[in-house]
Structure 1
Amino acid sequence: MSAPGTTRPPGQGAHAPARDAPSAPRAAEPARAARLEAALGDPFDPGNPHGHLALLRADEAREVPEATEALLAEAGLAAEFVPHDLGGRLTGLEELARVLRPLFRRDLALGYGFGITSLFAASSVWTAGDEDQRRSLAGVLLGGGRVTIVHREVAHANAILRDEMHAGPRPGGGWLVGGRKDVVINAHRANAFVMYARTSEGDGPRSHSVLILGPDAPAAGEVRRLGRVNTPGMRGAHFSGLELDGVALPDGALVGTVGDGVSLALRSFQTSHCLVPGTVLAGVDSVLRMAVRAATENRPDARPTRRGRKVLAGVFADLLACDAMAVTGLRAMSLVPEQSYLLGAAVKYTMPDLLREDLEELATVLGGRGYDRGPLYGGFQKLVRDLPVAGLGHAGTAVCQAVIVPQLPALARTAWFRTAEPPPALFTPGAPLPPFDHRRLAHSRTDDLLTATLVGVTGRLEGHTGHGSPHSALAALARTFVEELRTLRVHCVTLSGAFDPQACALADRYALVLSAAAVLGLWEARATHGDAFLGDPAWAVLALSRIARRLGVRGADPSDGTVEAVLDELLARCRERRSLDLYGTRLSG
């Protein structure tokens, strides 16, 4: 591992492989992901019971797509959310994201409603539960049951995060729980609830605790499952209310110790911070594919117009940049779990805005087709509705700001330009990982792995100054982001950690710098392995120029040749039915 500023030629020698060089072998698609993709079939086939048309009709009727849920149950998808040592299949989050992408490529509501919510609910138990709690909850999921999460109330709350349960000691031992939540996913059919309940009147870090309401009836009190709540998005998922009245739970219902709720949320929610964007990205993949079809239909050369080329290639570069950040975050939780805390928050903070902007750009290519309700284009409007409900709206941003802003002064003083570079495996998608263990997640380290990568790669790009070459454009952009980091250090070192407009604006810029660092780290790793496309500077130059534009800093504008190189890869993948992420895997349609 090279220290920042040392010389190591990127790629093969001083150059990445030529565009016509054969791609280096990439890690094979997990067999479970390939089987699920094949079982779900061609999403654009109107006769497919698991295709876009069937899922759109279920969404319009606000019904769960029962045929597809039955297929997922038969495939044992719930086992993906249970750690391997408890009898499940969960060994790493990157692999889990790849298994879930076929599902999210078709329907976010199905991905949430059928199972991923169970993982988010169970994560605090996998993180801090005792052996009995872990095995009991694993038994619920492996037996075909469902687990859901009852969130605590937070500032800037949406309906899902509004209101909360409260709990106190019960005379004679155990806990007495009461309260009401009006919007809980799968409350009507959950076999177990993991609740973040208020156990202290104060608002400090020890205000909440985690309790499990299992499948057995409580010793006393009443559990009321209230009526369904119609949401503007994810209409095929089932949200309803939950009310507890004097519910008595045993001492063994407490996860960890009293007051651990906020700390457990900070630790265990790291998984959702990367996993949600890393799976939702597959839905945008589908919309980009729709836009390519719309832009090339009836075109004699099967290529978009000049304006359409820039939009499509730019969005494709954004998807790759988002995937670089998400996959890096997912891999970090296996490789360096004690240092993945900030990275996970930055992924969740940055990606939603990028993906929303991409959908707005794609709307200009789709035109009137964007209002279509059929199998070819109907998924666009559905995704636009679903994204905010999937936790990618204002509430999710506020939660991530609460993680990042207090850390900025310490990062500026002790981490930036000082942290050692992370292991190269962090930027090698699909490469073997040590088993993921929720219990190793932390939330107190202030190392900054990606800024170290930014500085290191920029140093290794020095010398690429030939005007107009792709590598010189990449080197210039890399230097732009290093200078942005220096500017951030000057402004952040004096911050008090308070949430004011200046601090939030600096957090915005910091997260974008991290996304640029992920692009550079991924590009360098793939260049070293001889990847003909991801190891070529073109996609990285286009992605970084778009990030620089969002920062409002002067960056090298990508050449027409750069845009065309990225567009060529996009069109080839669409023709060959390959995914538009880092993996380029075969799809059913």
Structure 2
Amino acid sequence: MTTAARPGSAHLAGADPAEELTALLDGLTGPGEPFSVEALAALDRAETFPDEACRVLDAFGLPRYYVPVEHGGALDDFSVVMQLLRGVSRVDLTVAAAHGKTYLGAVSTWIAGDSGQAARLGQRIIDGAVVSCALTERHHGSDLLAGEVVGTRTEGTAGSSGVSGGLRLSGEKWLINNVTRADLVTVLARTDEAGGPLGFSLFLVDKEQLAPDQYTDLPKVPTYGIRGAAIGGIAFHDAPLADGALVGRTGQGVEIILKSLHVTRTGCVAMSLGAGDHALGLAARFAARTRTQSGRSLAELPLVRAELGEATATLLLAEATSVVAVRSVHALTGEMSVVSAVAKASVPAYVDDLIARLFHLLGPHGLAGPGDPHGEFAKVERDHRIIGIFDGSSLVNRNALIDQFPRLARAYRKGRWDAAGLAAATTARTAPGPFRTDSLNLISSSGASVVASLPVAAAEVRHLADEGLASEGLADLAARLHATAGRLHEDMAGARFAPRAVPVRGFELAERFELCFGAAAALHLWLRGAEHAGAGADDTWLRGCLVKALTDLGEHVEETERRVHGELADALLARPAGPGAPYSLLDRLAAAPGGHRPGPAPDTQEASAS
């Protein structure tokens, strides 16, 4: 049976699609299979696109999860997309970036396209069409308002493609993932010579409707990581656009893109989580199998256990941020300008830190070639470097966060948050509500509910500890996080930075806010979960997240509290060996329908509903 014909799109009723996909990919890692280490390493060396691996994902039906249910697909929960892309990235990040670009490229149409346009695009994707998104240009990078690709109105006659004259596209987009292989391209173009926020429009360009002389695919650019990905460019030569190519209204392009980025950034963090899974799994297996001269495994050495444990805590903190961020697309939609910026700035940075820590642990084995099983690690390290700049670099996202410091500080001081939205965003095993695109805003008017509610969350943990349902250690860590967040928001309230001239201190405050957000997300996930429904509930993963965040925030953490990293290392090493996911907080957030969950302390009940 050829790879293209492999069964996979006929999913089992009631089956979890992410678990199905993981099982499928795990079965295709043997010799000669498209997801084997050898095959992926060969593609990487040759800088060749992973066609066969992408066909497997097509046969599985992954493109259906890029299309909302209302447009004929299977997307009704963005956390499912996150887990699917994470599962692919766990095996190979190049494949995930190559295939997942269609999801990222189509979001603008789901947000701003009319129903007919969205339905047509949905069917094209389900039928196998590839979509790319062309924003950046060779000389302007992330500065969208400097773009020189233009869409101009003419009175010309029908072009050689048979498309009516009228609106024509000219100029070059560059460093665009999958644009040379795409069937359709979402293009941001200048439609007002004066430019400015209202001077750009968005177009869904169907390359099949253009003549060969109306566009040029620019050569693939050699890259440090994801070497097989088709990252290149496209130049339009007075290319006529069909009726219906405009997405949204004329002049609305920048606004649509910025709102779309609130969603697509969660797809990027999914790829970071998968890379973190892969790197942590490789390091754990290496430590367990490698013996010292005395015959002990590396995993038995205290220093190695501490490194593995802190790396696990780092991934758990990244996962908590990501889980809450992707659920917030549904539940805290109006706050996504903050949430998505936090997630995209912090999660790739956390995983870069994790990989660097593990690289140090592996030593020369981390740099070994593909003939050595540990050569996989060098590829993960290279591949993940680019995720930090997809859909806006950490610098760009932190700058967007800094712009909202006054609102965030004000909301925290007033104790203002969306209680219902927060509960939905942090109850990990419940189905989310519908995604309401009209609730997306360029700026959050309500601050960040995840962080603004920290005082009540800390009080709730204190109440649980008093009732014997949470440990004193956890209550102390939560209280210290609350105090740290309070000081941070005082600093943010007093910070005034000129646009485009933000000093280093501004970015340091943004990083501190990201750590508080991640730790608060972990705390809320635990509180909304079922683990604390009885005495002696396991809080290891949560304590690991809080210790990691407080340490990175510069807070003093006692050595006795740092021992949680050893507990996390034990949990990691106890998992079965194999390519599946390492220790994940989602394993710990079991649903408990109808189960008793203690309420918040009486004196915090009113505040939590404010």
Same fold (TM over 0.5): yes
The Cα of 1:33 is off from its aligned counterpart by 2.0
* Structure 1 pair 439–322 and aligned structure 2 pair: CA distance change class (3 A): same
| Residues in 2 aligned to 1:340 and 1:394: alpha-carbon distance in whole angstroms | 14
Cα deviation, residue 523, structure 1: 2.2
Task: Report the TM-score when normalising by structure 1.
Answer: 0.86
Question: Are residue 454 (structure 1) and residue 454 (structure 2) matched?
Answer: yes
Give the secondary-structure state (helix, strand or coil) at the position aligned to 2:453: helix
**1:101 offset after TM fit, Å?**
2.3
The alpha-carbon distance between structure 1 residues 339 and 519, as it changes in their structure 2 partners (threshold 3 A), is same
1:311–1:271 Cα change, 3 Å? same
Alignment of 1:435-514 (within 5 A): 435-447=434-446, 448-462=448-462, 471-498=471-498, 499-501=501-503, 502-514=505-517
Mark the CA change 1:230 to 1:359 in structure 2 (over 3 Å): closer, same or farther. same
Residue equivalent to 2:431: 432
1:322 maps onto 2:318 in alignment: yes
Identical-residue share of aligned pairs (%): 27
1:465 deviates by 8.5
1:16 aligns with none
Shift of 1:365: 1.8
Distance verdict in 2 for CA 1:208–1:375, change over 3 Å: farther
Q: CA deviation at 1:310?
A: 0.5
Aligned partner of 1:264 in structure 2 is 256
Q: Do structure 1's residue 350 and structure 2's residue 346 form an aligned pair? A: yes
Corresponding residue to 1:566 among 550, 565, 568? 568
Question: Comparing 427-436 with 297-306, which one deviates more in the overlay?
Answer: 297-306
| Partner in structure 1 of residue 227 of structure 2 | 235
Q: Secondary structure at the match of 1:245?
A: strand
**Greater Cα offset, 31-40 or 103-112:** 31-40
Cα distance, 1:582 vs structure 2: 2.5
Q: Which of 203, 217, 226 matches 1:225?
A: 217
Partner AA of 1:495 in structure 2: A
Bigger drift between 149-158 and 511-520 goes to: 149-158
Summarize the Cα distance change of 1:52–1:42 in structure 2 as closer, same or farther, 3 Å threshold. farther
Q: CA deviation at 1:392?
A: 4.0
User: Which of 580, 584, 591 pairs up with 1:581?
Assistant: 584
Q: 1:164 to 1:123 in 2, by over 3 A?
A: farther
- Which residue of structure 2 lines up, in the alignment, with residue 5 of structure 1? none
**Which residue among 548, 551, 559 is the counterpart of 1:549?**
551
Tell whether 2:405 aligns with 1:408: yes
Deviation at 1:408, TM superposition (A): 0.4
Whichever residue aligns with residue 403 of structure 2, its letter is: P
1:205 to 184, 197, 206: 197
Deviation at 1:301, TM superposition (A): 6.4
Contact 1:323 / 1:582 at 8 angstroms: preserved in 2? Answer: yes
- Please report how far the alpha carbon of residue 218 of structure 1 lies from its aligned counterpart in structure 2 after TM superposition: 3.9
Report the CA distance shift for 1:307/1:159 in structure 2 as closer, same or farther (over 3 A).
farther
Larger deviation: 363-372 or 439-448? Answer: 439-448
Q: Which of the numbers 99, 110, 113 marks the counterpart of 2:95?
A: 110
CA drift at 1:455: 1.6
Q: Does 1:338 align with 2:338?
A: no
1:143 to 123, 127, 137: 127
Deviations, residues 328-371 of structure 1 (Å, cap 9, x unaligned): 01111112322333111101111121111111110122122101
Deviation digits for residues 413-465 of structure 1 (CA, Å, limit 9, x no counterpart):
23445123444332222321223344543333232211133222111233688
Give the corresponding residue for 2:47. Answer: 62
1:518 corresponding residue in structure 2: 521
51-60 or 156-165, which moves further after superposition?
Answer: 156-165
Determine if contact 2:477/2:543 at 8 Å carries over to the other structure: yes
Q: Which has the higher contact order (CA 8 A, sep 6+)?
A: 1
Partner SS state of residue 555, structure 1: coil
Which residue number corresponds to residue 24 of structure 1?
Answer: none
Letter in 1 for 2:485: L
Cα 1:161/1:393, change in 2 over 3 Å: farther
Corresponding residue for residue 608 of structure 2: none
- The secondary structure found in structure 2 opposite 1:521 is helix
What is the aligned partner in structure 1 of residue 103 from structure 2? Answer: 119
Cα shift readout 1:8-34 (whole Å, capped 9, x = no counterpart):
xxxxxxxxxxxxxxxxxxxx9953223
Secondary structure, in 3 states, of the residue corresponding to 1:361?
A: helix
Residue 416 of structure 1 contacts residue 451 of structure 1 at CA under 8 Å; is this kept in 2?
A: no
- CA shift, 1:545, in A, is 1.8
Q: What SS is found at the alignment partner of 1:230?
A: coil
Displacement of 1:213 in angstroms is 1.0
Q: Match for residue 168 of structure 1?
A: 152
C-alpha offsets along residues 59-89 of structure 1, whole Å, 9 cap, x if unaligned? 1111122321221222222111111111111
- Secondary structure of the equivalent of 1:340? helix
Q: Decide which moves more: 59-68 or 441-450.
A: 441-450
Q: 1:79 pairs with 64, 70, 73, which one?
A: 64
Q: Does the CA-based 8 Å contact 1:417-1:451 persist in structure 2?
A: no
Shift of residue 40 of structure 1? 1.7
Q: Distance in 2 between matches of 1:103 and 1:432?
A: 23
**Post-superposition offset of 1:132:** 2.3
Matched residue type, 2:553: L
| Most deviating of 185-194 and 574-583 | 574-583
Task: Note if contact 1:275-1:326 (Cα within 8 Å) is conserved in structure 2.
Answer: no
Q: Is the 8 A contact 1:317 1:539 kept in 2?
A: yes
Q: How many residues align?
A: 554
The residue number in structure 2 matching 1:3 is none
> In structure 2, what is the equivalent of residue 365 of structure 1?
361
Contact kept, 8 Å, 1:520 with 1:540, in 2: the verdict is yes
Q: Equivalents in 2 of 1:444, 1:158: separation in Å?
A: 19
2:575 is paired with a residue whose SS is: helix
Name the counterpart of 1:52. 37
Aligned residue number for residue 11 of structure 1 = none
Question: In structure 2, do the counterparts of structure 1 residues 50 and 574 end up closer, same or farther at CA, with 3 Å as the change threshold?
Answer: same
Distance 2:380 2:511 in 1: 24
User: What CA RMSD, in Å, does the superposition of the two structures yield over aligned residues?
Assistant: 3.1
| Cross-structure match for 1:91 | 76
Taking the aligned partners of 2:145 and 2:576, their CA distance within structure 1 comes to: 39
Alignment-mate amino acid for residue 583 of structure 1: L
